[in-house]
Structure 1
Amino acid sequence: MDIRGLKVLELLMGGDFNIRELASKLGLSYSRTATIIRHLVKGGYCEKQEGKIRLARNAKTSLLKELAYRYDISSLLGEVREDLLLAIREASSILEIQRKTGFAQSTIYQNLRELMTIGAIRKLNDHYVVAEETNLKSFLELLSREKEAREIEHEAVLLYSHHGIKLKMVPAGKEAVGSKTAFSLFPNYGLDYFSPYDYYVEPPMRVSMEECLIHALIMARNKLERTMCAIFYLKNYNRINTERIKTLAKKYGVLQLLTRLQNYVRGSTIEADVFLPWDEFKEKAGIYGVRVSPPPGYEKIITVLRMLGEKLDAPTTVYLFGGANLLLRGLKSATKDLDIVAEDSTSFFKLKDTLLKLGFRMLTEHEMTSTDRKLSPSGILVSPELPRFDIFTRNICNAFSLTEEMKKRSEPQSFGKLELRLLSLEDVFLLKSITEREGDIEDMTVIVRHGGGLDWNVILETYFKEEKKIKRHLCFKILDSIEILQEREKITIPIRKPLLRHCIDIGILQSVKQGAKSVKEVRKLIDFPEYMIRNRITRLVGEGKISKKVEGKRFILSLTAKGRSELFH
């Protein structure tokens, strides 16, 4: 805000004045003072009454008066500082603040120092946050909402605004800036859903199926609308990119809601506070040609395993991971499939042929979802009303192999000629952390909370051994799953810190290989705090994986042969 405008507000906090009196106190001309007053009246800060200018009576000026007792408001809000404080609410690093405001870094640094001096903001590592001052946060929230309201159509209702993206609704048929999204696009994906509103995203963009669903989840205001999102998800299940939708849910801050939706459509939890009752969901889904049934429970799983054991021609040993593993341990009440690992092709064909005799059929690649294809099973066999079988041979989920250590840790259960060995909970947790299928975070939660104490060292050691064997860095996926789990359940996972350090190391090595020569250049390529990157670079230099040479006034980073070998060409 203009400094002279703030001076006017400070004067008005002490009483009412006419324009001439204010001009005299400010040392400005009458016309210049009148212009300042017009801006303040338009901004809702003051009002004219009987020839006098007085402070407006509203929530904003009430908060401003309270702030004036704690801060010098010219130092707090003068010039670019109001914009900086508003930016810090959404963006907390220097680069993010610069992208948000467009100010030069020198301007940002200078004013951030002043704001820290008066206690309005604090620095945490390389991020800035508004101080825990309730009135300041409330004032900034009010300013932000006023600014947003000025930037959208008069008839529009703003439902989301963050990082330059706005989601809004307008009465159906009204024109608005942006692209249609959410429920307005549902007819394009097989759901003729009527709404008295049109839904828009701004700025204009090409809205993908995944964005359409995430926008709808954000904009849904009641159980019916959230249930329609669930029907949309099921209707388009085979076309939705699960990795992309999870990334978008994290970006928009609705990952927990998406997880609840996924659990709801699987029937694993009844989300009565968020969605319609299951019977109503089933009925509404049927209207749109979507068949809904809860996943098979314990009795049905046991029955099909006994049928399989009786029908096999010869004794066969296979290994079980996934939700069915938890079900047989009593940690879960239902699951839609059995994830099985066969040791060799002979065991796979025995299992497949026997299931075909029992009336199962093998899915064609065209029938598989994108997630199924990505996991590369040897075969998926299905039968109406029975759990499906996802069978892998040696290689599990296109990632890890069935190791001798995994076999030794497994526990046997017999069903006739079928010896079903349950992989350890440590191995199930690790596999769940990389598959990125719906329900995986839920199952990881069950393992942590009810598994009786995991050996976290086994999980970490198994991962590092497999990483070297398969020559792939899956650590980023595992870290992502663990951080989602921690945030959602408010629990601490002991292996997060060593895994985080490993991910930063690999990210640094990959960045330097791509041409990054300084810490700032590395920071642009990997999304980790700068202080962590600096610490790990020092460690990598000490380990001989990166060299650091002085050129002029700067250090130049380069990859050594040892560092290159870590990246598994």
Structure 2
Amino acid sequence: MITRERLIREFELIDEKAGLMGSDEIDLYLIGGGNLALRGIKPATADVDVVVKDYRTLTALENVLINPSPKFRTSSGIVVYLKVFGHEYEKKLGADAVYQKVDPETGDFNLDVFVKRVMRGIHLSGGMIDRAVVPKEFQELKKLRVHLVSVEDVFLFKGVTSLGRSKDVDDILRLLELGVDFNVVLKEIEVQRKLLEVETFERLAHILFEKIKLVQKILEERGLRSRGLDHFINQLEGYLG
């Protein structure tokens, strides 16, 4: 598992190597468990998921990750990632590239990269980019600009994954404890409806509705209720065919 401290350190090393290589600036948008771990609301994550705006950025990132030249030795030695082909994230979630740093001492570091669109569905929209922030932990980096997408956008990404991913339900519960502005989520859903194919949007809306209904049931079993969540579910019903 990848802890918050490990995540920060790995991005620092990638940035250091990118500087040695004279790379262009690389914007990464951190989503999923890595986002939650960095916020301190999840102890660790199995994989780090990032979105980039375009394939030019993916190429620049890949050039830094997989270059094995000893000329680019960082403060922790040579940092080299392997590109993994046929990884389950490529097959199931549509990741554009999966990279892995094999480290027997501290454990492997898996980096899953999506270009513009995540899980063959949700787009990295202009609103998401505007809401994202570079946290203080990454503000001193020279070449990497690591952005945290907002809590509301992580909520949406988590909400449209497969219904069988119980860990995403747990993460949604964590996000609710932190506080989610459902009006922001609803506005982003409207944006996504314009960006997505009709069938894709309807499928994702159905998944989101079923998953949030499950979350509502879990809260009720714990003797809890959220009026904001109830209203959000009522609004979601309007998107179901």
1:463 and 2:189 aligned:
yes
| 1:50-449 equivalence runs, <5 A | 295-312=1-18, 313-357=23-67, 358-365=79-86, 368-369=87-88, 372-384=90-102, 385-413=107-135, 414=138, 415-436=141-162, 437-449=165-177
Structure 1 residue 350: deviation in Å? 1.4
Q: Using the alignment, how far apart are the partners of 2:65 and 2:214 within structure 1?
A: 37
SS state of the match for residue 402, structure 1? coil
Amino acid at match of 1:425: V
* CA drift at 1:447: 0.5
Letter in 2 for 1:484: L
Please state if 1:489 is matched with 2:219.
yes
Distance 1:394 1:502 in 2: 24
Percent identity between matched residues is 26
Which deviations, in whole Å up to 9, do the C-alpha atoms of 1:404-463 show, x marking residues without a partner? 1111100113333111010000001001111224521111111101x2x32101111211
Superposed CA RMSD in Å reads 1.6
State how far apart, in whole Å, the 2-side matches of 1:386 and 1:307 are.
15
Cα separation, 2, equivalents of 1:364 and 1:375: 14
Aligned residue for 2:170, secondary structure, equals helix
**Structure 1 Cα separation of the partners of residues 9 and 30 of structure 2:** 16
1:494-529 Cα offsets, whole Å, 9 max, x none, are 3111112332xx1xxxxxxxxxxxxxxxxxxxxxxx
Partner residue in 1 for 2:235: 498
Q: Secondary structure of 2:44's partner? A: coil
Which SS does the other structure have where 1:401 is aligned? coil
Quote the Cα distance in structure 1 between the aligned partners of 2:142 and 2:214.
Answer: 40
Assess if the C-alpha contact under 8 Å between 2:32 and 2:154 holds in 1: yes
TM-aligned CA deviation for residue 482 of structure 1: 0.4
Amino acid aligned to 2:2: P
**Counterpart amino acid of 1:394?**
K
Say which SS state the counterpart of residue 134 (structure 2) adopts.
strand
> What is aligned with 1:130?
none
Deviations 1:196-254, CA, capped at 9 Å, x for gaps: xxxxxxxxxxxxxxxxxxxxxxxxxxxxxxxxxxxxxxxxxxxxxxxxxxxxxxxxxxx
* Letter in structure 2 aligned against 1:434: V
Secondary structure of the corresponding residue to residue 502 of structure 1: coil
Structure 1 portions without partners, runs of 5+:
1-294, 507-569
Is residue 51–residue 113 contact of structure 2 (8 Å, CA) maintained in 1?
yes
Partner Cα distance (1:440, 1:359) in 2 = 30
1:439 alignment partner AA: K
* Paired residue total: 205
Q: Secondary structure at the match of 1:412?
A: coil
Give the Cα–Cα distance (whole angstroms) in 1 for the partners of residues 142 and 47 of structure 2.
20
Secondary structure at the residue paired with 1:411?
Answer: coil
Distance 2:126 2:180 in 1: 19
Query: For 2:130, what is the secondary structure of its paired residue?
Result: helix
SS at the partner of 1:318? strand
Q: Identify the structure with bigger relative contact order (alpha carbons < 8 Å, sequence gap 6+).
A: 2
Shift of 1:298: 1.6
- Asked if the contact 1:409/1:424 (under 8 Å) is kept, the reply is yes
Shift of 1:372: 4.4
Which 4+ residue blocks in structure 1 deviate beyond 3 angstroms? Answer: none
Distance in 2 (CA, whole Å) between partners of 1:309 and 1:390 is 17
Q: CA deviation at 1:381?
A: 0.8
| Equivalent pair of 1:306/1:416 in contact (CA under 8 Å) | no
Matched to 1:374, the amino acid is K
Structure 1 length normalisation: TM-score? 0.35
Q: Quick one: which amino acid aligns to residue 303 of structure 1?
A: R
Q: CA deviation at 1:349?
A: 1.2
Counterpart CA distance in 1 for 2:235 and 2:132 is: 26
Separation in 2, partners of 1:330, 1:298: 7
CA 1:501–1:305 in structure 2 vs 1: closer, same or farther (change >3 Å)?
Answer: same
Assess if the C-alpha contact under 8 Å between 1:375 and 1:398 holds in 2: yes
Query: How far apart in 2 are the matches of 1:352 and 1:484?
Result: 39
User: Post-superposition shift, 1:469?
Assistant: 1.8
User: 8 Å contact 1:360–1:381 — kept in the other structure?
Assistant: yes
1:316 and 1:402 map into 2 onto residues whose CA distance is 16
The AA in structure 2 aligned to 1:341 is V
- Following the alignment from structure 2 to structure 1, what is the Cα–Cα distance between the partners of residues 83 and 149? 25
